[in-house]
């Protein structure tokens, strides 16, 4: 396990302290695993208490055994005022909290324990900070992408005529884990469950899901209505493989599509439009360009090719072509018509213009790109054509 | 996929309606996947709006395509007042919400949209309802337990001298998935991440984790500090296997422990104490007995055998011996000294008195029992002794 360099952790903390100042708050309490890991390099049950000018305090319930001058063991949030007093700190009057993730019960209990400070949502600001990656972070995404491609290169040998989508997925999951997939696959937002990725075969690609992912699928259980549902891999249909690139804490994202035997010409055409959109954005996008513009370029190509009815689904269509990726699979920026974000150096974006063709299946590819000073760098390097199985 | 019988869904809804009446509320809004599945048989992004006396309304954002007289498609919670008006319903003044799970942001937005009703936490009440299972639910737990045992019977053939805990786990996960494991493994509470279960080899069993599970382990990534961490399976140490029984939406829970070669006598002794505790509770517990009493019986045996320093960990000790299990792996009742719950027919409990022995590893077993009218019925039927590999 690689530790985050101390200087980089300090940089990240300074960015949060900058937000505390900007929002005229007195402190920021971090409770989510992802942001604790980002700012503290390890996860604990408790409160990472970030102050505007001094080092953070760690109020830890579990695990036992963490040592440090700024570590305080607690059983409950009601102990915070006394301990803050001991450190000569007054109670916060304005407090930043990750209220998009923290439960109402936990937030109100904390607010009450701290004598009712005004609470300000820091979730989006923290996501913005995380959306611009350091070289250290980008290196991990690069490494993940290399392993991801290596695993996808095993797909041809996994495929057996007559197998179902879920049988295929299980074989692929096994190879992913053997290649170092960390298993856990984090996404942001309530009710955004997923397990190791999304495999879509044939008409199951049309099935809408409750989640805010690119595509749907019915799933094998009503407890997780997403992805593979037992569809046999049948001649004339496609198999879209969008499995997790979770080989490092910082993830990449990559989709490839396979044709079972010969598929109708429209599948090759639509797949090529996805590739064309990628190439256009890859060649043209650079820092300073609004994310919304990327969406509009894609939309133009989609309309020229009369593919709107199939773009990102049929029954239910996700009007976006990509998203940031990092510790979570859905980070800013989001690439939609209404995006307010501007491309910045250090962003890592997954582009995924896809089409769902009735009676055939999903087509298109997804690549991860790093936004460099002078343009996009593609890091998910693997055969892009519709691959025959 | 089995549908829940309509009558049973009605029974469950009536229990929620009873709580609405008991708490003098006007409505209950269900937003979590687990409770939507429990009360509605499918998951959607939106609000299951339960009324005291009439059928629920479904306010659905996604997926598209759900039909029904009580289905209303929405984009945002601010649309609720108009739609409620259309149904001749007034705005709720007292509202039950799952505030232990719903984010502060989402809860406050909903409260504002509904003109600031008083919000009451329904999370625990819903968990209590779910803790007593119907025959339909118990049947699924039984089926899961049978498959769970079948998968554990493959452990001997998986083991290879020299392999690490994570290599072992990956082989077991693969067989679990082939046997029908649904993949997703749900637990209740914030920051309660887990992936497919917990494998603990040798001294890694002593490593405390941030989570509220029975035991810890360091994990292979700081993003999920739990379980297998790459420890080699070494002669003289134990391998504890506590993998998910998620072969049905309703889960069972089962742990077995394996000895690599010959292990010190204390390991056999402590393992036998775990079995003895199981047998005593299995023979004696029945409806009407306080859950705290089960803990006290166990504690007596542990003290008699001078095993307190090793009970449920060394560095960090979880002072409990079991928990309910169902749609989530940690349901009520919880079996601790302070438990207030009384055993009731239809509860399903996982007993897991375990010991962690320095330089050897974890020992003990976990079984799932159904609380029947006349006592406990064991459903996780698999060799209980410390199994030699």
Which residue of chain A comes nearest to B108, CA vs CA?
A104
Distance of CA A102 to the CA centre of its chain: 19
Which pairing describes strands B348-351 and B367-372: parallel, antiparallel, or unpaired? antiparallel
Contact A369, A241 (CB under 8 A): no
Q: Report the pLDDT value the prediction gives residue A44, as an integer from 0 to 100.
A: 98
**Mean pLDDT, all residues of chain A:** 97
3-class SS of residue A131: helix
Q: Report the pLDDT value the prediction gives residue A58, as an integer from 0 to 100.
A: 98
**pLDDT at A226 exceeding the cut of 80:** yes
Which residue of chain B comes nearest to A180, CA vs CA?
B220
Hey, how many other C-beta atoms are within 10 angstroms of the C-beta on B319? 12
**pLDDT at A184 exceeding the cut of 80:** yes
Q: Report the pLDDT value the prediction gives residue A1, as an integer from 0 to 100.
A: 66
- Work out the average pLDDT over A361-388: 98
**Contact yes or no for A316 and B62 at CB 8 A:** yes
Nearest to B48 by CA among B21, B66, B23: B66
Residue B257 to chain A, least CA–CA distance (Å): 23
Q: At what angle do helices B165-178 and B135-152 cross, to 10 degrees?
A: 130
Quote the CA–CA distance of A234 and A154 in Å, as a whole number: 20
Quote the CA–CA distance of B106 and B295 in Å, as a whole number: 38
Which of the four pLDDT bands, split at 50, 70 and 90, describes residue A326? Answer: very high
Query: Tokens 């601010």, residue?
Result: B78
Which of the four pLDDT bands, split at 50, 70 and 90, describes residue A18? Answer: very high
Which of the four pLDDT bands, split at 50, 70 and 90, describes residue B2? Answer: confident
Contact B302, B281 (CB under 8 A): no
Sheet-wide strand order for A94-97? A71-73, A57-62, A45-50, A27-30, A94-97, A118-121
ipTM of predicted complex: 0.97
HEC string of B66-95 equals CCCCCEEECCCHHHHHHHHHHCCCCCCCEE
Of B170, B183, B316, the CB nearest to A177: B170
Query: Of all helices (H) and strands (E), which one includes residue A168?
Result: helix A165-178
Which chain B residues contact residue A209 at CB under 8 A? 62-63
Q: Where would I find the H helices in chain B?
A: 6-22, 33-40, 80-86, 104-113, 123-131, 135-152, 155-158, 165-178, 265-284, 291-304
- Work out the average pLDDT over A263-286: 98
Domains of chain A: 6-129 (3.40.350.10), 132-388 (3.90.230.10)
ω before A63 within 30° of 0 (cis)?
A: yes
DSSP E strand boundaries for chain A: 27-30, 45-50, 57-62, 71-73, 94-97, 118-121, 197-201, 238-245, 252-253, 256-259, 322-324, 331-335, 348-351, 354-357, 361-364, 367-372, 375-378, 387-388
Quote the CA–CA distance of A79 and A30 in Å, as a whole number: 17
Share of chain B above pLDDT 70, in %: 100
Residue B33 to chain A, least CA–CA distance (Å): 6
Quote the CA–CA distance of A108 and A259 in Å, as a whole number: 52
Residue B168 to chain A, least CA–CA distance (Å): 11
Residue A29 to chain B, least CA–CA distance (Å): 14
Which chain B residues contact residue A106 at CB under 8 A? 100, 104, 190
Nearest to A75 by CA among A45, A95, A105, A41: A45
Which of the four pLDDT bands, split at 50, 70 and 90, describes residue A298? Answer: very high
**Contact yes or no for B195 and A174 at CB 8 A:** no
Q: At what angle do helices A33-40 and A123-131 cross, to 10 degrees?
A: 50
Quote the CA–CA distance of B168 and A234 in Å, as a whole number: 34
HSE, side-chain direction, 13 A CA sphere, residue A145: 26
Quote the CA–CA distance of B208 and B312 in Å, as a whole number: 11
Quote the CA–CA distance of B343 and A85 in Å, as a whole number: 44
Ramachandran angles phi, psi of A86, nearest 5°: -60, -35
Which residue of chain A comes nearest to B313, CA vs CA?
A64
Of B31, B45, B208, the CB nearest to A63: B208
Which chain A residues contact residue B127 at CB under 8 A? none
Q: Residues of A1-39 as b/e, b for ≥16 C-beta within 10 angstroms?
A: eeebeeeeeeebbebbbebbeeeebbbbbbbbbbbbbbb
Q: Report the pLDDT value the prediction gives residue A191, as an integer from 0 to 100.
A: 83
**pLDDT at B1 exceeding the cut of 70:** no
How do residues B89-109 score in pLDDT, each as one tens digit?
Answer: 999 999 999 999 999 999 999
Quote the CA–CA distance of B299 and B297 in Å, as a whole number: 5
**Mean pLDDT, all residues of chain B:** 97
In DSSP notation, B123-187 reads HHHHHHHHHBPPHHHHHHHHHHHHHHHHHHTTHHHH--TT-BHHHHHHHHHHHHHHTT--S----
Q: Report the pLDDT value the prediction gives residue A123, as an integer from 0 to 100.
A: 98
How do residues B6-44 score in pLDDT, each as one tens digit?
Answer: 999 999 999 999 999 999 999 999 999 999 999 999 999
Query: Of all helices (H) and strands (E), which one includes residue B253?
Result: strand B252-253
Contact A318, A206 (CB under 8 A): no
Which chain B residues contact residue A123 at CB under 8 A? 105
**Contact yes or no for A105 and B105 at CB 8 A:** no
Contact A131, A161 (CB under 8 A): no
ω before A333 within 30° of 0 (cis)?
A: yes
Q: Report the pLDDT value the prediction gives residue B34, as an integer from 0 to 100.
A: 97
Quote the CA–CA distance of B308 and B301 in Å, as a whole number: 10
Which chain B residues contact residue A191 at CB under 8 A? 31-33, 43, 45
Quote the CA–CA distance of A209 and A224 in Å, as a whole number: 9
How do residues B256-291 score in pLDDT, each as one tens digit?
Answer: 999 999 999 999 999 999 999 999 999 999 999 999
Residue A218 to chain B, least CA–CA distance (Å): 11
Q: Check residue A180 and report its DSSP letter.
A: T
**Contact yes or no for A196 and B183 at CB 8 A:** yes
Q: How many residues does chain B have?
A: 389
Chain A interface disruption, residue of B30, B209, B210, B247, most A CBs within 10 A: B210
Quote the CA–CA distance of A23 and A122 in Å, as a whole number: 10
**pLDDT at A119 exceeding the cut of 80:** yes
Residue A207 to chain B, least CA–CA distance (Å): 9
Nearest to B244 by CA among B194, B305, B309, B289: B194
HEC string of B257-271 equals EEECCCCCHHHHHHH
What angle (nearest 5°) sits at the alpha carbon of residue B105, between those of residues B99 and B111?
Answer: 70
Contact B253, B350 (CB under 8 A): yes
Residue B166 to chain A, least CA–CA distance (Å): 9
Contact A342, A289 (CB under 8 A): yes
CA-CA distances (angstroms) from residue A195 to A183, A223, A235, A275?
9, 11, 27, 27
Which chain B residues contact residue A121 at CB under 8 A? 105
Q: Report the pLDDT value the prediction gives residue A80, as an integer from 0 to 100.
A: 98
Which of the four pLDDT bands, split at 50, 70 and 90, describes residue A150? Answer: very high
- Work out the average pLDDT over A304-318: 96
Which residue of chain B comes nearest to A3, CA vs CA?
B222
Which chain B residues contact residue A64 at CB under 8 A? 208, 315-316
């Amino acid at each position: 396990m690689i530790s985050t360099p101390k200087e980089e952790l300090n940089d990240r903390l300074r960015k949060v302290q900058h937000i505390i100042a900007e929002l005229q708050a007195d402190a920021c309490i971090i409770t989510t695993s992802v942001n604790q890991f980002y700012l503290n390099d390890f996860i604990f049950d408790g409160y990472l208490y970030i102050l505007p000018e001094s080092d953070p305090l760690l109020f830890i319930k579990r695990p036992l055994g963490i040592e440090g001058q700024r570590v305080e063991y607690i059983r409950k949030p009601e102990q915070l005022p006394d301990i803050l007093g001991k450190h000569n700190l007054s109670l916060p009057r304005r407090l930043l909290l990750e209220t998009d993730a923290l439960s109402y019960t936990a937030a109100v209990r904390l607010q009450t324990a701290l004598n009712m400070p005004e609470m300000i949502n820091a979730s989006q600001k923290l996501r913005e900070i995380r959306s611009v990656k350091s070289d250290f972070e980008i290196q991990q995404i690069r490494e993940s992408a290399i392993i991801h491609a290596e695993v996808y290169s095993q797909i041809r040998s996994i495929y057996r005529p007559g197998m179902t989508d879920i049988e295929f997925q299980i074989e692929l999951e096994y190879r992913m884990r053997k290649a170092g997939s960390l298993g856990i696959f984090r996404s942001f937002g309530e009710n955004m469950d997923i397990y190791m990725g999304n495999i879509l075969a044939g008409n199951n690609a049309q099935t809408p899901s409750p989640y805010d992912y690119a595509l749907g699928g019915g799933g094998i259980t009503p407890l997780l209505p997403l992805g593979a549902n037992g569809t046999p891999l049948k001649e004339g249909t496609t198999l879209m493989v969008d499995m997790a690139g979770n080989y490092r804490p910082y993830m990449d994202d990559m989709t490839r599509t396979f044709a079972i035997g010969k598929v109708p010409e429209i599948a090759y055409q639509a797949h090529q439009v996805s590739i064309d959109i990628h190439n256009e954005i890859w060649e043209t996008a650079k820092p300073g360009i609004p994310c919304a513009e990327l969406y509009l370029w894609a939309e133009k190509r989609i309309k020229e090719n009369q593919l709107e009815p199939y773009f990102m689904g049929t029954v239910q269509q996700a009007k976006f072509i990509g998203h940031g990726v990092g510790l979570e699979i859905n980070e800013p920026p989001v690439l939609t018509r209404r995006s307010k974000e501007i491309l910045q150096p250090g962003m890592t974006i997954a582009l995924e213009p896809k089409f769902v063709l009735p009676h055939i299946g999903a087509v298109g590819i997804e690549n991860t790109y790093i936004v460099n000073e002078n343009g996009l760098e593609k890091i998910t390097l693997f055969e892009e054509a519709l691959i025959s199985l």
